[in-house]
Amino acid sequence: MSSSSAFNDEKGGSSSVGEPEYGHDPASGGIFSSDYKRHDDLKEMLDSNKDSLKLEAMKRIVAMIARGKNASDLFPAVVKNVACKNIEVKKLVYVYLVRYAEEQQDLALLSISTFQRGLKDPNQLIRASALRVLSSIRVTIIVPIMMLAIKEAASDMSPYVRKTAAHAIPKLYSLDPEQKDQLIEVIEKLLADKTTLVAGSVVMAFEEVCPERIDLIHKNYRKLCNLLIDVEEWGQVVIINMLTRYARTQFLNPNMNESLLEEGSGGDKTFYGSDDDSDEEEDEKDKKEEAHAMAKRKPYVMDPDHRLLLRNTKPLLQSRNAAVVMAVAQLYFHLAPKAEVGVIAKALVRLLRSHSEVQYVVLQNVATMTIKRRGMFEPYLKSFYIRSTDPTQIKVLKLEVLTNLANETNISTILREFQTYIKSMDKDFVAATIQAIGRCATNIGEVRDTCLNGLVQLLSNRDELVVAESVVVIKKLLQMQPEKHSDIIKHMAKLTDNIQVPMARASILWLIGEYCEHVPKIAPDVLRKMAKSFTNEEDIVKLQIINLAAKLYLTNSKQTKLLTQYVLNLAKYDQNYDIRDRARFIRQLIVPTEKSGALSKYAKKLFLALKPAPVLESPFKDRDHFQLGSLSHLLNAKAGGYQELPDWPEAAPDPSVRNVEVKESVPEWTKCSSREKRKEKKVEKPFYSDSEGESGPTESADSESDSASGSESGSGSEESGTGSESEESEEGSESEEEEEEDEDEKDKKKKKKKELKKPVQESESEQSSEEERKLQRKIKQRKSDTESESDEEDSESESSQSESEDSESEAEVKKKKKAAESKPPSKPVKKESKKEKKEMSLLDLDDFEPTPSPQVTPVNTFLSNSLVTDLEGLSLSDAVLSPATIAPSSALKSYELLHRITGEGLSVEYCFSRQPFSPEVNMVAVQMQFTNNATSETKNLHMEDVKLQSGMRVKEFPEIELLPAGETATAVMGIDFCDSTQAANFQLCTHTRKFFVSIQPPVGELMRPVFLTENEFKKEQGQLMGMNEITEKLTLDVNCRNEHAIVQRVTTAANLSRVPCGSDIECRFAGRTVSSSSLVLVTVATKEEGAAQLTVNCEKMVIGTMLVKDILLALTQ
């Protein structure tokens, strides 16, 4: 054993003395690793006449190669057996030759005639192996032979051989690029191949040899799209990436109209927002011109081939291969309409459960996506929370994603999460978390103060790295508005006594020096302390002490002249030459002498120049110019062989280039196509309509705008209302799509019948009625979604029904709704659904009464006798389903939605009624008052094109069919603002005009009162301390010094209820946010001479901050 190991060391082997002997297992490489005799045995076995010995020898040699051992010295013995009659031996010989043909080119060339014979072997595996070996011999002499072999193999009967020919093309191209033209002919021939085995390989060859020749793809585009699902995974990735680039050159940008619409709507908003009546006529002209331009602009219609690609790649989001999912995700991100990109979010979140390597790549791409399409990943926020087992690089990437996803609604959750991360043992991760808090503070102004206070608390942390990072981030935040935060600068000045981390001390001294004018009394004292300890400080701190001394000498020379000279004298004799040089340089600049040059005049400009505040941006901000999922995107640098993603064309290229001539020998195919044409004529829409696109749960608002802005989506019912349940279902199967089309046709037939029954006076223009129907269908779908969640019986029955039954029931509901609208509300409706019964309750009855009247009491007693029977007998018209109008109280503030001049005679005001919105408890009830000031009547008042931020929802008011001149009508709508003060934008439509309007709530209206006892209040308040508590001191207004006035003003500013309190000097209020039911507690403690203290405790920090401002304003003015 010792002799063998000694020899092995000489050979460069790795077996040690204590290693056990290897058995004679043919797969074990250990049997050859010791000495040459065993190789001699193998050579003898290969030279023997027995095929069994040759096969045994080849198995052992291939096992050696598999284990990474060098078997090149056996090449002459192996190559002799290339002409062996035994197929098994031949296969293994070819496997060996593919590995070593490149190294031993001369010996391989000797047996080239054998390879050529092998190309005509009846066995497809031998033919393919021979071609593979031939293409592995990297010698320019045999290029013509290789070219001939590839051309023959490209016409081979076996798809496996054709696949091998496709693999050989890039090898030959790299050996001799001059063969490009001939190779392109072969690629063109192979691209026409209809087998899935060849598709991926030939597209790879196309990408390597001639990626610019997209004309070769035109005729094969539809075939590749349809074969995609059956190609092997490696091929799928290659084809998807190629088709992404192809689609960017051949189709129009599906989101181009959105940017134009947004610009247009922005202009309209400013126009409606202005109250000046001076330039009315000019504004009217501008308005008409804009409307005319909007009408002229063609609505975007998606090319059927573009839709085909999106539809056929969508099922691959469920692939087991992470690379395929990533490829489809980047295709959707780069090519799909904004409303449909949401479907990829769920698939990418699924990949986060995979290995850390996969997570790293996926998170890199998600981080880039979240910068442009934040709403897409917001529902999956918790999937990006960090686990303690994650590696540091994964933690940092997840932090990046969380920071990108932060907005006013979720920032409190994210900051609470960050608070936990700061306690981690992984110091690099803690530093990254502190930087993330800094970025959140810069992006979201409402939490800047909260973040700053949190970071200041971290300055007392024991860990040096945490303190240093906190100081650096605080320094950046303070640079944005230093005048407001002189208190924090003072606090940091006090910390110089305790903090010993050099970087932190240096940062504090820089801050004090830079903003010494804001702390004129403290800065000289800090310099005095620093001068004492100058000799014991680190070099980085000494440099900042010198800088501080120089800045103070220039601004406050009386107090600091002697101190500065003292510090400069100490620095003059310091051991570090940097500090000595800095001292000499600064002395010459700030203390002018006869010898000092012209620079000393500009000393103030040099030292006290305004430094620009650092911009805290995501490192992924500009990465999206690289194609997602590519190596270049991962490295953020252009990698070799990377092809740029082309820009969208301004005008669509001719789509007919993708048409393939149909052969006459297949009559069934032509029949099918003609039937499709007839169907297209009948339905008047493209075959692959936008209806198949599904929006994710967050992008629904965008999809609504898509469908409403005139994109020819045949079945809008599926476009926007689909929630996350639809994502989970299987998509992409063509049978489902055909069913959906049939259902649409049924719906249309029913609508036509219904229209015939209606009187002629009620009929409208086709387009507006169609849009109405789409809108109603969306509302119905949303409503049914929410009801099915709350009602178990209904959800069970709905899940058992088929799709067709579902669509029929929708149509019936619409009929009932129309009938209910046309009849007066007093008429009873005979039939009534279970849902309507379940929604009725004792509490709701009060809301349905238009005005409070003495009749309410008998109704309540009547109900208490037998509730069920009476509810069954009760007739509910559509007016009951939407909340009844509530008489506006004098205390409620009204806001103008539409001015009578802007609205051409129609004026609209709205107020927050503070009544529960019965159909949806999570919605804020908004009461609207319509007044027709014009001389003519207004018809069909309704809402359209609702544009909301992610998560927000709207329950529209019932259409007002007729508003006579001089009359007033009221209606109630519900809006789920998702606990944010972001506006709900929509179009208010009459029978002739559309007006862009928006409703923005004050923060106080996002709450509902809640009753708490004094003990409950104190208990809840104790749980909402720290970052969830905001305290402000104030001086009460002269008219607001008594308890009654304080209560009145607070409850006017916010919809809160009074909490009983034993103390005379305290007023307490409680409420919950309407959307998320987060607790809001307010305390006003009065002191002597009108002084008071306001405390707000709220789970949502942003709401708490905004509420403090509103209540302060109410109490002080």
Please state, in angstroms and rounded to a whole number, the distance separating the CA atoms of residues 669 and 789. Answer: 45
Residue at token pair 């001076």:
278
Residues ≥6 apart with Cβ < 8 Å to 334: 244, 248, 627, 628, 645
Average pLDDT, the chain: 75
Q: What's the pLDDT at 259? A: 53
- Count of CB atoms within 10 A of residue 1095's CB? 17
Q: Sort residue 873 into left (φ over 0), alpha (ψ -120 to 50) or beta.
A: alpha
What is the pLDDT averaged over residues 1033-1042? 86
Residues forming a β-bridge with 1084 = 1067, 1094
pLDDT of residue 910: 92
pLDDT tens, residue by residue, 5-45? 444 444 444 433 343 444 444 444 444 444 445 577 788 88
The pLDDT tens digits of the residues spanning 735-761 come to 444 444 454 545 545 444 444 444 434
pTM: 0.55
User: Has residue 841 got a pLDDT over 50?
Assistant: no
Sheet holding 968-976, edge to edge: 894-898, 906-916, 924-932, 968-976, 953-955
Interatomic CA distance for residues 550 and 587, integer angstroms = 8
Q: What is the pLDDT of residue 451?
A: 85
Half-sphere exposure of 908 (CA within 13 A, CB side): 27
> Would you say 476 and 613 are in contact if contact means Cβ atoms under 8 Å apart?
yes
Q: How confident is the model at residue 946 (pLDDT cuts 50, 70, 90)?
A: confident
Q: Which of 656-670, 906-920, 976-990 has the lowest mean pLDDT?
A: 656-670
Mean pLDDT of 161-178: 92
Whole-number pLDDT of residue 673: 45
Residue 924: beta bridge partners?
916, 975
pLDDT at 702: 43
| Secondary structure (3-state) at 1091 | strand
Please name the residue that has the structure tokens 């830079």: 514
pLDDT for residue 394: 92
What percent of the chain lies above the pLDDT cut of 70?
Answer: 71
Asked whether residue 537 carries a pLDDT value surpassing 80, the answer given is: yes
User: 487-501, 554-568, 992-1006, 1091-1105: which has the minimum mean pLDDT?
Assistant: 487-501
Name the residue among 236, 187, 239 with its Cα closest to residue 209. 187
Mean pLDDT of 997-1008: 90
pLDDT by residue (tens digit) across 1021-1030? 888 887 788 8
Residue 708 has pLDDT above 60, yes or no: no
Nearest-angstrom CA–CA distance, 222 and 209? 22
Residue 839's pLDDT is what? 43
pLDDT of residue 362: 93
Split at pLDDT 50, 70, 90, the class of 141 is: confident
Name the nearest CA neighbour of 383 among 362, 357, 411.
Answer: 362
Residue 187, Cβ density class (10 Å: 0-12 exposed, 13-18 middle, ≥19 buried): buried
Is the separation of the CB atoms in 757 and 819 below 8 Å? Answer: no
Q: How far is CA 576 from CA 530, 535, 537, 584, 621, in A?
A: 18, 11, 12, 13, 41
Indicate the residue type of 99.
R
DSSP letter, residue 519 = S
CA distance 437 to 455: 8
Which pLDDT score, from 0 to 100, does residue 281 have? Answer: 54
Q: Is residue 315 within 8 Å of 293, Cβ to Cβ?
A: no
The SS3 of residue 408 is: coil
The pLDDT value given to residue 3: 43
- Per-residue pLDDT, averaged over 952-958, amounts to 89
pLDDT digit string (tens) for 206-232? 989 988 888 888 889 999 999 999 999
Query: What's the pLDDT band for 151 if we cut at 50, 70, 90?
Result: very high
Distance, CA of 62 to CA of 93 (rounded, Å)? 9
CA distance 954 to 986: 10
pLDDT tens per residue across span 1045-1059: 899 899 999 999 999
Give 69-119 pLDDT, tens digit per residue.
888 778 888 887 877 778 888 888 888 888 887 777 777 777 777 778 888
pLDDT of residue 559: 81
The Cα 116–Cα 62 span in angstroms is 23
Q: Residue 792 has what pLDDT? A: 42
More confident residue, 894 or 1: 894
Q: What end-to-end distance do the CA atoms of the chain give, in Å? A: 97
Longest CA span, the chain: 116
Q: What is the pLDDT of residue 948?
A: 84
pLDDT tens for each residue of 247-297: 988 888 888 776 554 444 444 444 444 444 444 555 555 555 555 555 455
Among the listed ranges 182-186, 261-265, 538-542, 561-565, which one has the minimum average pLDDT value?
A: 261-265
The whole-number pLDDT of residue 230 equals 92
Q: Which two tokens stand for residue 183?
A: 């190779």
Which residue, 364, 215, 223, is CA-closest to 305?
223
Enumerate the β-bridge partners of residue 984: 999
Interatomic CA distance for residues 226 and 231, integer angstroms: 10
The residue type found at 30 is G
Most confident of 608-622, 640-654, 883-897, 1034-1048: 1034-1048
Q: Given a cut of 80, is residue 692 above it in pLDDT?
A: no
Q: Tell me the two tokens of residue 312.
A: 């056929």
Q: Is the pLDDT of residue 361 over 90?
A: yes
% of the chain surpassing 90 pLDDT: 18
Please give the pLDDT value at position 663: 55
Which spans in 591-630 are helix H?
Answer: 603-607
pLDDT in tens, 819-833: 444 444 444 444 444
User: Which has the minimum average pLDDT: 256-270, 289-303, 593-607, 703-717?
Assistant: 703-717
Cα 624 to chain centroid distance, Å, stands at 13
The per-residue pLDDT for range 550-595, each reduced to its tens digit, is: 888 888 878 888 888 899 999 988 899 999 998 888 888 887 766 6
Residues 540 and 506: beta-carbon distance below 8 Å: yes
Per-residue pLDDT tens digits for 771-828: 555 555 555 555 445 444 444 444 344 444 444 444 444 444 444 444 444 444 444 4
Pick from 179, 192, 86, 75: nearest CA to 135: 179
Which strands, in side-by-side order, build the sheet including 938-947?
A: 960-963, 938-947, 984-989, 994-999
Query: Whats the size of the chain, residue-wise?
Result: 1117
* pLDDT at 502 > cutoff 90: no
